[in-house]
Structure 1
Amino acid sequence: MVQYKWIALSNTSLGVFMGFMNANIVLISLPAIFRGIGVNPFNSFQYLLWILFGYSIVSAILVVNVGRISDIFGRVRMYNLGFLIFTVASILLYLTPGQGDVAALQLVIYRVIQAVGGALLMANSAAILSEAFPPKERGFALGLNGVIGIFGGVAGIIIGGILASIYWRDVFLVNVPIGILGTIWSMKSLKQLSKPERNQRIDIPGNVLFAVSLILILVGITYGILPYGNQATGWSNPYVISAIVSGLALLGVFLFVETKVPDPMFRLELFKIRAFSMASASVILAQLAFGGLQLMLVLLLQAIWLPLHGYSYEVTPFWAGIYLLPLLAGFGIMGSIAGKLSDRYGARTLATLGLVILGVGLLGLTTLPYNFNYLEFATIIFFMGIGNGLFVSPNTASLMNASPPQHRGSASGIRAMLTNTGSTLSIGVFFTIVIEVLYLVLPTTLSTALTSAGAPQLIPYMTKIPPTAAIFAAFLGYNPVSAILSQLPPSVASSIPSSVVSTITANTWFPNVIAPAFMQALRIAFFTASGLSFAAAVASALRGKTVIYEERVVETTRGQGK
């Protein structure tokens, strides 16, 4: 008879495979989705942000609540419900009935529902694995679970590229058979190994305060990226400032309340465990460094490198995913190996080394020109994937091992919340740096380039386009110049010679114009991320000896310093 631990690993791996696949399918297929519903990227990029961010924001808000509720009502029951909700949301996404802005709003709503299911899966998968596997095998199990997630990400890139070229709705339908299989299998095979603490009460004040505070902070950050008035970003928008300040204030109130209620949602006592608190600090700092990186590399490839190398804007989303496979390969190769090594030698050295490698890799990216040699680029991101693989599974195993069994749902939820929140903040930081730099230099750059090309009459139109719109147009597979020309008054359009139109709408013209400023901005972002990665390495090194809570017995593993 198959041991239960392998059943738990296979089922949770199916969930993580579906989650990673779904994320990359949506990312790769956004151009086809936007064309399918008839949305103009120049005036609707707020929908793009919410389709991307809405999922991670809702997941970040819910995972801690879900983890706590799972400790009370049972992790397996909540995990099963997550599979079901995720599958239903995928069906709704496939059936999206509207067109234009209505359809975009429907997609955002259905993605939010999907995020509820994703939160239930994320908050409980690590806890289920930690219960099923003994302490000496948890790193291996969590690492292998992560590697299968990477396979899902690779599958998402390939499947998304194929399905997006056939019919945009199919990119959502592919989740449904996996979701149905996972729902039935999890209901039939997974067992609740630890007894739920039914005598505890749900922390309603804590849930409300935490949800409202995090919503305000993350929504404020999201709208901070969007243009405001004549400014490139919205950080001076009174509503953005008010949302973030109010959210931080409520977060302080929440932490105070959690010290007073008898059964708190957020188990602050976990942070008294040094191994847990330092692992958590490493997670948030590493996500700040790495969470927005993949999206920035996608933008670099789609907006600059691929068009310069002859790829049409229509196919750049798919090929950007393909050219980023070394990053995923590095993580996949190292993930399970590092997990197994951490079971034997502990997490501190491996996780810290991984973060140092990640920081060095980010510094390596700052040395590349915009028209880089792909072999150099691939080598750098491959080793960054190795570094991330060295960090993630040992750090997760360390965090879960340090959590008392009765609080593992809460611990898993806190880890997932820190991951999602850090990723959203990271994207906000990266985008802000890139957009602000482009806002300062792009108008002059475009004016000079248009004059040299023989189209000075376009200067008043192209220099007024927000950098956000230009970047997102390229991200969605549109040539920004062609999109602008299609919206010109007929008198202006007819005054431009056809030879000039051919020049400025060529794949290489716009990338060459924006590339120096874009790379200048990215280098600032990469330096910032590198510093955050080294800070995460310091936090990781300070975690001390590995603590393993098993039935309230504390052990220490060999291979760790004092």
Structure 2
Amino acid sequence: MFMAVVDASIVIISLPAIFRGIGLDPFAAGNISYLLWIIMGYLLVTAVLVVTLGRLGDILGRVRIYNLGFVVFTLASIALSFDPAHGGGGALWLIVWRLVQAVGGAMLMANSAAIITDAFPAEQRGMALGVNQIAALAGQFIGLVLGGVLSVWDWRAVFWINVPFGVFGTIWAYRSLREVGERRPAKIDWWGNLTFAGGLALLLAAITYGIQPYGGHSMGWTNPYVLGGLIVGVVMLILFGLIEQRVEQPMFRLSLFRNRAFAAGNAAALLASVARGGMQFMLIIWLQGIWLPLHGYDYADTPLWAGIFLLPLTAGFLLAGPLCGYLSDRYGVFYFTTGGLTLFALSFIGLLLLPLDFPYWAFALLITLNGFGSGMFSAPNTSAIMSSVPATHRGAASGMRSTFQNSGMSLSIGVFFSLLIAGLAGRLPGALYSGLSSQGVSSAAAHHAAQLPAVSTVFAAFLGANPMQTLLGPTGVLETLSPAARATVTGKTFFPNLISDPFHHGLMIVFATAAGMALLAALASMLRGATPAKDPDGRSAGVPQVPVTRTH
């Protein structure tokens, strides 16, 4: 599970090295699509396929699908590391094999929680799922550091690192794992699978394209294809709901959402995932675009150091997850899930109060609390969700839980990037124009630079590139400046000071929205009530059980 999720984030930090390695300028016209699909393609495929693959696990055997996932994931990792092409062809090779790799990752994600739920009794399930869930959450952030370290050596190492673990995992899984859950052969619900996968894929793909510039606008929400994708995606998901209520053996039994523990747990997980995903990207941009350059770090080094400075967030996850999973086995999940989300929301409010050039100890404390609150919530919530469904539907339920979590991450990128860019679009042009004019840039050139899409500026900081060099270098403006002015404009402090006010405005919108999402998640968690979830045999999931001797 850790390996599958690490791969969703390890590429983010490694993108500058990857694009240099294949000889592609990510900021050239039309190349932002390559950039977005390398980031988003993996998330999109895993979000779309986990329910289908979880249901196939219920029908064919969870261990069988899980083991096949190791094989697919490993073979795709090998193919990625041997990218034979350059330029756009090299990027397409990476995108296609990342999509294949995501199929293997989805097989692992869809069935791991169900296998653990099958294997552990209710009184130990919270701890076991806690370890699994925190492995996934920690993977999101450890991938950032790992990608930074490996890409300094060789960009292909980002994919090589998966191969020995994948080979070992494949051999171990086939030798050691056995089916212990109940398997119920059934017909495959083709229409349900197609409408769900198609609808969600269209929805998430439209959101991906929505954050790209279109027709002179800073974003693409007026693009007819984006609007069409959103509308058709929603219609297909509505059709999926209608189909699932009428077929004899549905892909996913929507009646499970009548279970308050299942419905409230998934709603809370979706909202928390949206808040968490947006926060991850905003913190990276904050560190790489402003804080680290102001503190003397070169732009090329900021991706690695951003990952290192975010380690307290991972530490909070790792500390809270197994601990609260264990305690929730003894005392129930309600106070851990609702309390964790409340702490999660308060940490966002704390981040709202920080100045852009913050003291690091305050930042580290707040992101540690953020990680701790998220860890408090995630493990007990997963245990409550998985314990609330019949054993025959655990694969599909695990897939639906992963879908909410992965879709929340994809949605958050679209939502929070849009909020940030909208905040920047209103203030950044004026700040760019006045800042460049003060350094002797001609009025026409300064006006042209100010009209460039805000998303280019954001991605430049995100990829560890000097934003002023990226924006002005291709236009030839820098060559017209005096050596002193050129050094100032491309220096470490000019861009952070220039963007501080517009970025702070966008950041306030983002963190306020994230705090609101987290509070809504706490409310959804509260609606599950204080009653522990029940296993199908009536045992509480979260209360120690007295052993019962059964006679046959």
For this structure pair, what is the TM-score category when the shorter chain's length is used for normalisation? over 0.9
Q: Tell which deviates more after alignment, 285-294 or 74-83.
A: 285-294
Do the aligned partners of 2:320 and 2:372 also contact (CA within 8 Å) in 1? Answer: yes
Q: CA 1:39–1:208 in 2, change beyond 3 Å: closer, same or farther?
A: same
SS of residue paired to 1:201: coil
Letter paired with 1:319: W
Please name the residue that 1:314 is paired with: 300
Candidates 372, 394, 405, aligned match of 2:380: 394
Correspondences of 1:45-84 after superposition (within 5 Å):
45-84=32-71
SS of residue paired to 2:83: coil
Give the root-mean-square deviation of aligned CA atoms: 1.5
Aligned-partner Cα distance in 2 for 1:53–1:394: 28
Candidates 409, 432, 454, aligned match of 2:395: 409
Where structure 2 has 5 or more consecutive residues not aligned to the other structure, the ranges are 545-552
Task: Give the drift of 1:482.
Answer: 1.3
Aligned-partner Cα distance in 2 for 1:521–1:381: 19
Aligned-partner Cα distance in 2 for 1:469–1:253: 38
CA deviations 1:479-505 (Å, max 9, x no partner) are 12112333124xx55432111101100
Aligned-partner Cα distance in 2 for 1:452–1:557: 64
Candidates 453, 461, 473, aligned match of 1:474: 461
Aligned-partner Cα distance in 1 for 2:277–2:285: 14
SS of residue paired to 2:18: helix
Aligned-partner Cα distance in 2 for 1:323–1:450: 31
Matched, 1:97 2:90: no
Please name the residue that 2:344 is paired with: 358
Do the aligned partners of 1:41 and 1:476 also contact (CA within 8 Å) in 2? Answer: no
Candidates 257, 269, 272, aligned match of 2:258: 272
Correspondences of 1:286-435 after superposition (within 5 Å):
286-435=272-421
Please name the residue that 2:549 is paired with: none
Aligned-partner Cα distance in 1 for 2:470–2:509: 29
Do the aligned partners of 2:383 and 2:541 also contact (CA within 8 Å) in 1? Answer: no
Letter paired with 1:197: R
Task: Give the drift of 1:100.
Answer: 1.1
Aligned-partner Cα distance in 1 for 2:479–2:170: 59
CA deviations 1:391-418 (Å, max 9, x no partner) are 0000000000001111100110000000
Task: Give the drift of 1:154.
Answer: 5.9
Do the aligned partners of 2:67 and 2:170 also contact (CA within 8 Å) in 1? Answer: yes
Matched, 1:192 2:182: no
Letter paired with 2:2: F
Letter paired with 1:466: P
Task: Give the drift of 1:558.
Answer: 5.3
Do the aligned partners of 1:41 and 1:469 also contact (CA within 8 Å) in 2? Answer: no
Letter paired with 2:513: T
Matched, 1:536 2:521: yes
Q: Tell which deviates more after alignment, 206-215 or 36-45.
A: 36-45
Matched, 1:28 2:13: yes
Please name the residue that 1:460 is paired with: 447
Task: Give the drift of 1:212.
Answer: 1.1
Do the aligned partners of 1:402 and 1:546 also contact (CA within 8 Å) in 2? Answer: no
Do the aligned partners of 1:447 and 1:456 also contact (CA within 8 Å) in 2? Answer: no
Do the aligned partners of 1:18 and 1:152 also contact (CA within 8 Å) in 2? Answer: yes
CA deviations 1:395-453 (Å, max 9, x no partner) are 00000000111110011000000001111111111100111111111111111101112
Q: CA 1:464–1:38 in 2, change beyond 3 Å: closer, same or farther?
A: farther
Aligned-partner Cα distance in 1 for 2:139–2:36: 23
Do the aligned partners of 2:278 and 2:514 also contact (CA within 8 Å) in 1? Answer: no
TM-score, normalised relative to structure 1:
0.93
Task: Give the drift of 1:241.
Answer: 1.0
Aligned-partner Cα distance in 1 for 2:140–2:425: 33
Letter paired with 1:436: A
Percent identical across equivalent pairs? 47
Letter paired with 1:219: A
Aligned-partner Cα distance in 2 for 1:409–1:186: 18
Correspondences of 1:137-286 after superposition (within 5 Å):
137-149=124-136, 152=139, 155-198=142-185, 200-286=186-272
Letter paired with 1:33: I
Task: Give the drift of 1:152.
Answer: 4.6
Please name the residue that 1:115 is paired with: 102
SS of residue paired to 2:299: coil
Aligned-partner Cα distance in 2 for 1:528–1:114: 32
Aligned-partner Cα distance in 2 for 1:444–1:419: 38
SS of residue paired to 1:197: coil
SS of residue paired to 1:291: helix
Do the aligned partners of 1:370 and 1:516 also contact (CA within 8 Å) in 2? Answer: no
Please name the residue that 2:511 is paired with: 526
CA deviations 1:289-348 (Å, max 9, x no partner) are 212211110011011111111111111000000000111100110000000011011111
Aligned-partner Cα distance in 2 for 1:314–1:555: 53
Q: Tell which deviates more after alignment, 433-442 or 149-158.
A: 149-158
Task: Give the drift of 1:158.
Answer: 4.0
Do the aligned partners of 2:329 and 2:543 also contact (CA within 8 Å) in 1? Answer: no
Q: Tell which deviates more after alignment, 72-81 or 507-516.
A: 507-516
Aligned-partner Cα distance in 2 for 1:514–1:82: 44
Aligned-partner Cα distance in 1 for 2:193–2:249: 12
Q: CA 1:342–1:227 in 2, change beyond 3 Å: closer, same or farther?
A: same
TM-score, normalised relative to structure 2:
0.95
Where structure 1 has 5 or more consecutive residues not aligned to the other structure, the ranges are 1-15
Q: CA 1:495–1:557 in 2, change beyond 3 Å: closer, same or farther?
A: closer
Q: CA 1:308–1:261 in 2, change beyond 3 Å: closer, same or farther?
A: same
Please name the residue that 1:505 is paired with: 490
Equivalenced residue count is 540
Do the aligned partners of 1:292 and 1:424 also contact (CA within 8 Å) in 2? Answer: no
Task: Give the drift of 1:102.
Answer: 1.3
Please name the residue that 2:499 is paired with: 514
Task: Give the drift of 1:155.
Answer: 4.9
Q: CA 1:54–1:405 in 2, change beyond 3 Å: closer, same or farther?
A: same
Aligned-partner Cα distance in 2 for 1:461–1:514: 17
Q: CA 1:252–1:167 in 2, change beyond 3 Å: closer, same or farther?
A: same
Do the aligned partners of 2:122 and 2:541 also contact (CA within 8 Å) in 1? Answer: no
SS of residue paired to 2:534: strand
Aligned-partner Cα distance in 1 for 2:306–2:510: 20
Task: Give the drift of 1:557.
Answer: 5.4
Letter paired with 1:265: M
Please name the residue that 2:550 is paired with: none
